[in-house]
C-alpha cells in the first residue's frame, strides 16, 4: 500500500531529524523539529495509515521541542506520556480484551514460566487478564505523583521488558515496529521520569521563558506558538474520552492491544480471484464455510507491505474496500461487514453488511472524515 506521494515528507522528516540533532544553534534546532512535525502532519493527511501511535506521539513531541523551553518541554511531555499509559490501561478493562488478547498474553506468559502448578478454569483465567491493565493503570497514574514516580518507572520498565518477551519472535511475534516502540518507551520512562535534570534547580528562573525573545527572532510569535501547542496537547489528553462514542479514533486514544476497536471485514468472491492483483490474492484466506467468499486479511497485508499493523478504524478499512472496488472493477463480487465498537461489558458489536461498490461508497459518506488509500 505504499504511496509515492509520501516520499517527500519522508525525506524532509529525515533532514529535520538530522538538523535537530546535529545543529548547535537554538534557532536551527527549533527549525529541525518544526520540519519533523510538518513532515509527520503531511504524512498523516496524505495517508491515515501513517498515523501509527508512535508517529502520533512523535508529532506532539516535535511540536513541543520547536516551541517551548527546556523546563516547559519536560512538563508537557510528562503529562502526555503518562496519559498514554492511563488510556491504554482503561481500554483493556473490556470484555474483548479479557477473552482475546488478554488470553493470548496470559497463555504465552504461563508457557514461558513453564506452566502453572494448577489448571485455570475459564472464569479465573478471564479475571486474571485484568492484572495486565491494573498494573499499567496504577503505574501510569503514579507517574503524575512525585512520590510514586520512581516506583512507577520500575514497574513500567518491567512491563515493557515483559511485553518485548511476550510480543517478540519467541512469543506472539508482533511487528518490529511494536517491539522498537517498547524499547523506546523503556528509554523514555528512565530519561523522562527517573533522571533528574541538572537544570531543575534553575527551572523557577525560566517560568516565563516561553516569552523570551530568540536571537533575531520575535518572542511573542514563539509565545503564541507555545500556547497553541499546549492547547493541542490538552486536546490530545482529554479527547480520548470520546473514543467509545466514535468521535475520536482508537489509536489516537491509545487503544493499544485492545481489540474492541471498530473494523471492516472485506470478503471477495472466488470468481474474481484470478483477476485480482497478486498482492491481494496472496492475503485471501481459505473459504472454510465453502460459501464462495474469501476474507481479505488486512492485518497480514499491512504487515507485509508496510511492516506496521493496519489502522484500526472502520472508516479507514472501508476506504480500502472502496479503493479495491475502483482499482479492480469490482461490484457484486465484494462485500463488507462493517462492525462498530464492541460493548465494554458484553463484547457485542453493531454490524452492517454491504454488498457491491455502491453500498460501500454510500457507507463511506456516513463518516465525517475519510482518506484516500492505495493498495500497491
Name the DSSP letter for residue 276: S
Q: Long-range contacts: 112-121, Cβ < 8 Å, 24+?
A: 112/165, 112/166, 112/170, 112/171
Helices (H), the chain: 7-22, 26-46, 53-67, 70-90, 95-99, 101-112, 122-128, 131-142, 149-167, 176-193, 219-238, 278-281, 298-305, 314-328, 356-364
Provide the whole-model pTM: 0.88
Which of the two residues, 191 and 112, has the higher pLDDT score?
191
Evaluate if residue 167 carries a pLDDT over 70: yes
Q: Which three cell numbers stand for residue 53?
A: 501511535
Evaluate if residue 281 carries a pLDDT over 80: yes
- What pLDDT is attached to residue 359? 95
Q: Are 89 and 136 in contact (CB under 8 A)?
A: yes
pLDDT band at 210; cut points 50, 70, 90 = very low
Name the DSSP letter for residue 284: B
Q: Are 102 and 66 in contact (CB under 8 A)?
A: no
- What pLDDT is attached to residue 207? 44
Could you report the per-residue pLDDT of 361-373, keeping only the tens digit for each? 999 988 887 655 5
**Mean pLDDT over the full length of the chain:** 88
Q: 142-176 burial, b if ≥16 CB within 10 A, otherwise e?
A: bbeeeeebeebbebbbebbebbbebbbeebbebee
Evaluate if residue 84 carries a pLDDT over 50: yes
- Grid cell 501509527 in the structure block, residue: 52
| Residue percentage of the chain with pLDDT more than 90 | 65
d(CA 40, CA 56): 8
pLDDT band at 8; cut points 50, 70, 90 = confident
Q: Which three cell numbers stand for residue 348?
A: 457485542
pLDDT band at 121; cut points 50, 70, 90 = confident
Describe the crossing of helices 26-46 and 7-22 by its angle, rounded to 10 degrees: 160
Could you report the per-residue pLDDT of 237-261, keeping only the tens digit for each? 999 999 999 999 999 999 998 899 9
Q: 34-53 burial, b if ≥16 CB within 10 A, otherwise e?
A: bbbbbbbebbbebbbbbbbb
Q: Which three cell numbers stand for residue 312?
A: 484500526
Which residue from 297, 303, 308, 319 is spatially nearest to 364, judged by alpha carbons? 319
Amino acid at each position: 500500500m505504499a504511496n509515492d506521494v509520501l516520499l517527500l515528507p519522508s525525506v524532509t522528516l529525515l533532514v529535520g531529524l538530522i538538523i535537530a540533532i546535529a545543529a548547535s544553534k537554538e534557532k536551527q534546532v527549533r527549525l529541525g523539529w518544526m520540519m519533523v512535525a510538518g513532515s509527520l502532519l503531511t504524512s498523516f493527511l496524505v495517508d491515515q495509515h501513517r498515523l501509527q501511535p508512535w508517529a502520533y506521539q512523535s508529532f506532539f513531541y516535535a511540536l513541543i521541542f520547536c516551541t517551548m523551553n527546556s523546563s516547559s518541554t519536560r512538563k508537557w511531555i510528562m503529562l502526555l506520556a503518562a496519559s498514554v499509559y492511563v488510556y491504554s490501561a482503561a481500554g483493556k478493562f473490556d470484555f474483548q480484551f479479557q477473552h482475546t488478547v488478554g488470553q493470548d498474553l496470559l497463555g504465552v506468559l504461563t508457557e514461558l514460566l513453564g506452566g502453572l502448578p494448577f489448571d485455570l478454569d475459564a472464569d479465573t483465567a478471564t479475571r486474571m487478564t485484568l492484572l495486565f491493565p491494573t498494573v499499567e493503570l496504577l503505574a501510569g497514574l503514579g507517574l503524575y505523583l512525585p512520590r510514586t514516580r520512581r516506583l512507577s518507572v520500575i514497574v513500567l520498565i518491567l512491563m515493557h521488558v515483559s511485553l518485548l518477551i511476550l510480543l517478540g519472535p519467541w512469543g506472539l511475534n508482533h511487528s518490529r515496529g511494536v517491539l522498537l516502540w517498547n524499547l523506546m518507551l523503556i528509554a523514555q520512562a528512565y530519561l523522562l521520569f527517573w533522571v533528574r535534570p541538572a537544570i531543575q534547580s534553575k527551572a523557577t528562573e525560566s517560568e516565563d521563558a516561553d516569552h523570551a525573545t530568540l536571537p533575531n527572532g520575535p518572542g511573542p510569535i514563539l509565545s503564541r506558538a507555545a500556547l497553541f501547542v499546549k492547547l493541542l496537547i490538552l486536546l490530545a489528553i482529554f479527547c480520548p474520552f470520546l473514543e467509545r462514542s466514535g468521535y475520536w479514533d482508537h489509536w489516537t486514544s491509545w487503544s493499544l492491544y485492545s481489540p474492541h476497536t471498530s473494523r471492516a471485514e472485506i470478503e471477495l468472491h472466488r470468481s474474481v480471484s484470478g483477476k485480482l492483483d497478486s498482492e491481494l490474492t496472496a492475503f485471501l484466506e481459505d473459504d472454510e464455510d465453502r460459501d464462495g467468499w474469501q476474507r481479505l486479511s488486512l492485518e497480514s497485508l499491512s504487515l507485509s507491505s508496510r511492516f506496521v499493523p493496519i489502522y484500526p478504524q472502520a472508516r479507514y478499512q472501508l476506504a480500502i474496500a472502496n479503493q479495491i472496488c475502483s482499482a479492480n472493477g469490482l461490484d457484486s463480487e465484494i462485500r463488507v461487514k462493517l462492525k462498530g465498537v464492541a460493548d465494554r461489558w458484553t463484547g457485542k458489536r453493531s454490524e452492517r453488511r454491504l454488498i457491491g461498490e455502491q453500498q460501500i461508497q454510500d457507507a463511506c459518506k456516513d463518516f465525517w472524515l475519510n482518506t484516500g488509500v492505495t493498495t500497491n
